[in-house]
Structure 1
Amino acid sequence: MYPGKGPSLDGRKHGVVKRNCTRRWWFWLIFFVIANVAIVVGIVCGVIPIVAQNSVTNAIVRADGIAITNPSDDRITLAMNATVFAHAPVKARFANQTFEMYLPDDKNQTTFMTLDVGELEANPTMAINVTGADTNILNKEIYQTFSKQVLSKGNFSLVIRSKPILKVGSLQYRVNFEKTVQLKGFNGLRGITITNPTILNGSAVMEDGTNLLTDGVIPNPSSFTMQIGDLTADISIDTLKLGFSVIKNLTLYPGDNAVKIYNHINPELMGLPMFSAILDQPNVNITLAINSTILNGQHISWLETPLREASPFYAIMNPGSAPAVGSAMAGGLS
C-alpha cells in the first residue's frame, strides 16, 4: 500500500507569502510614497537649481542703449536698455535685483556703480528697460577710467554681475549672474565737421564775447547718450592760436549731433585778411584742446579730465567745398 500524499509545501509557502503581503500592504505603500518623495526632492533640490544656473550662465547680454544724464562729481542719472538671450526650460521669474558694474581689467573687481532692475519674466528673450535711476558713483577713480573708455575708444567691455533669486512657482533659487558686455564708445569724437562761419562785428558781438558763430556736427557711433553741459575748448590752426570755443548745453546722442559753436576769436585776428581767407578755404584742419566741462555751474571732473587727456581732437572746417563767409554787423547780416 502506498502512503497518501500530504499537503504541498510549495502551496503552503505561497499562502504564507500572500497573507504576509496582504497584512503588510501599508509597508509597500509607505515605501512607494517615500521613493516618490525622494525622487521629487532630488529634482527640486538638485536638478532644477543646476538647470537654472546653467540657463543663467549660458545667457547672452546685449546692451542696446545707455544714457548718462544729470552728471555731478558724485551722482548720475542712469538709464539702460538691454536684451538678454537665454534658454528658459521652466516657467520662472527673476525677482528684483541689483546690477553691479566693474571693469574687466580691474583685478579687484571693484564695483563703481550699480543699477536696480525690476522683476523679469524668464523668457528666451528678455528686455531690460530702466530709466531715470539716480545712481551714486561708488569709486570716482574707476568711474573716470570708465568715462575715458566711453569717450576715447571705439570698443570696450563692461562686466555686469548680480545674485538674483529665480522663482519657479512657490520655490526660490539663488543664482549667480555675471556677464561681460561688449560696448561701442565715442571713438575719440572722430569726424567732427564745422561749417557756416559767420563773423560778428561791432555791436553784433554777443554779450559773452562771441565774435564768430559756426555750425558743427559731432558724430557719436556708440549707443551711449551722455550729457556734458557747457564744453569749452581752445582752438588753433597748426601753430596759430585762434582763441576758444564753447558748445552750450551739450548732450551727445547716438548718431550725428548738430550743434551751434560760439567762438571767441582773438580780436587781433578778426580784422586780418589772412583770417577771412582761412574761413573761406575748404577742408581746414582745426585743432581742439578741451579745457572744461561745466553743468549747473559745477565742473564735472570725471568728464573734464578724460577729455583733456584725450585732447587734441580734430575737426574739418568747410569739408568738401568752400563756403561764402558771412558777416554779421549791427542791423543784420551782410
Structure 2
Amino acid sequence: MDNKPEYTQTENVVDKPRKRGCAGHCAKFWWAYLIAVIVIVVIVVPVILLVAVPKIAQEKLDHAELILDSIKMTDSRAQNFTMSINTEIKSDGKVKARIEPFEGVMYLEDVPEHKPFARVQFPETNSDKSQTVNVTQFTAIDDMAAFTQFNTWLLHNDTFRVTVKGDTKVHVKGIARAYPVTFKKTIDMPGLRLLKGTQVYNTTVDPKANATAGINNFFGTVRIPNYSKVSFELGNVSFHNYLLDKEIGTVYLDNLSLKPGDDNVYPMRATITDLGSVTGLVIEKPYCDKENGVLPFKLRGKTVVNKGENLTYIADALATGNQTVYIDIRGTVKRSMGLDLGCV
C-alpha cells in the first residue's frame, strides 16, 4: 500500500483590475453628454414641433375625405339666401387632433380664376374616423357673376368639380401649440343635366281664352327631375316657349322648389299666342303619323321671382340653354274639345 500523503493545491488567482471603460468615460466626459442633451432639447425638439408635427398634421388633413350629402338653398332673395350644407369627413383617425372653426370659400375648380361663389363658416371639427358636419347659415352673394356661373355649370353639366378651401389651425393632442394648416378639398358634384327628362302631361287647352291679353289658354302638369344634390327654393318661374324655333308664348310654374330626385311635380300654365299654328302642325306629316300628334317644344328661362325679388342668378343661368319637352297636342285637343285630329 502506498502510504504517501495526498496533497490538494488551491490557488486563488486575482486578475489585474479592469478599467471602467464606459462608466469611466461617462464620468470623465459628463459635461459633453450634458451639452448633447441640451442641443437635442434646444434644437431637435423644436424642429420636430415646428416642422415635423405640422407637416404630419397637414398630410393627415390632405388625406381626409370630404363627402357632400346635400346642399339646400332656401329663403332665396336677390342678394342673399339661406344655405344648408350637410357633409361627412372621413380620416384614418390615427392622430388625435382638434381643428379650429374657419371660413372656407367655394369655387369652381375648372375655372382658372377660382373666384369664390360662396363662403361657408365651418364649425370646430376633430380627427375622428368619421364625423358629420352640418352648416346652416345666412349667405350674402358677394360676387354675382361667380354665383351665376356656378348655377350655370350646375344646370348644364352631368358632373363638375367644386373646391372648398380655408386656412385654420390644428391642435394636436398633448401639444399646447396650435399649428396653421390649410383645408382644401375638391369634390365631384352631380349636375342638373339641363333638366333632361322633364315631362308634361294631363294637358288641356282653352281655345276661348285671349292669350294675346295675357290670359292663360294652356294647362298641364309638369314633372321635373333633379339629378343633383342641391335643393332650390325658386318661387315663380317663367320660360320662353318655342316651337320649331319660333317663340309662341310663355310657360309659368308657380311656387317652384326643386329637391333631389324625380318627385318634383307642379301645375303648369301657359299662354300660346298662336294656338291655331300649333294645332295646325299636328295634322301635318310627320307629326300626325310618325309622331302621333306629339310636338317638340323648347323652353328657355325668362324670369325667376321669389318673395317679390328677382333672382337674376337663377334666371340668367336658365336662359343659357334650351330644354326640349314633348307634349301630346293631339291628346290635348281630344281631352279639351273632343276632337280627333288626323292627317291632311
Task: Tell me which interval the TM-score lies in, with the shorter structure as reference length.
Answer: 0.7 to 0.9
**Contact preservation (8 Å) 1:281, 1:322:** no
Q: CA deviation at 1:81?
A: 1.6
Give the CA RMSD over aligned residues. 3.8
Alignment-derived partner of residue 342 in structure 2: none
Q: CA deviation at 1:125?
A: 2.5
Q: 1:325 to 1:230 in 2, by over 3 A?
A: farther
**For 2:233, which of 223, 227, 230 is the aligned residue?**
227
Displacement after TM superposition at 1:254 (Å): 0.8
Question: Kindly, what percent of the aligned residue pairs are identical?
Answer: 22
Q: Would you say how many aligned residue pairs link Structure 1 and Structure 2?
A: 311
The letter of the residue matching 1:315 is V
Contact 2:282 2:294 in 1 (8 A): no
Distance 1:99 1:150 in 2: 20
CA deviations over 1:41-92 (Å, ceiling 9, x no partner): 4443332211111111222322221122222332121111222332332111
> Distance between the aligned counterparts of 1:264 and 1:154, measured in 2?
32
- State the AA in 1 paired with 2:102: Q
Counterpart CA distance in 1 for 2:312 and 2:38 is: 67
> Which residue of 56, 64, 78 corresponds with 2:61?
56
Aligned to 2:327: 317
Aligned partner of 1:47: which letter? A
Q: What aligned pairs does 1:1-334 form with structure 2 within 5 A after superposition? A: 21=27, 35=40, 40-131=45-136, 133-169=137-173, 170-200=176-206, 209-238=215-244, 241-256=247-262, 257-266=264-273, 269=275, 274=280, 283-310=294-321, 312-318=322-328, 322=331, 325-327=334-336
TM-score by length of 2: 0.76
Give the counterpart letter for 1:313 in structure 2. Q
**TM-score w.r.t. length of structure 1:** 0.78
Q: Residue 175 of structure 1 aligns to a residue in which SS?
A: strand
Q: Which amino acid aligns with 1:177?
A: F
Contact conserved, 1:269 with 1:275, CA < 8 A, in 2? Answer: no
1:3 matched to which residue of 2? none
Q: Give the deviation of 1:188 after TM superposition.
A: 0.8
Moved more, 155-164 or 72-81: 72-81
Residue-by-residue CA offset, 1:184-220 (whole Å, 9 max, x unaligned) = 11111111110001335779x9x98333320011111
In structure 2, the gaps of 5 or more residues are 1-15, 338-344
For residues 199 and 89 of structure 2, the distance between their equivalents in structure 1, rounded to whole angstroms, comes to 37
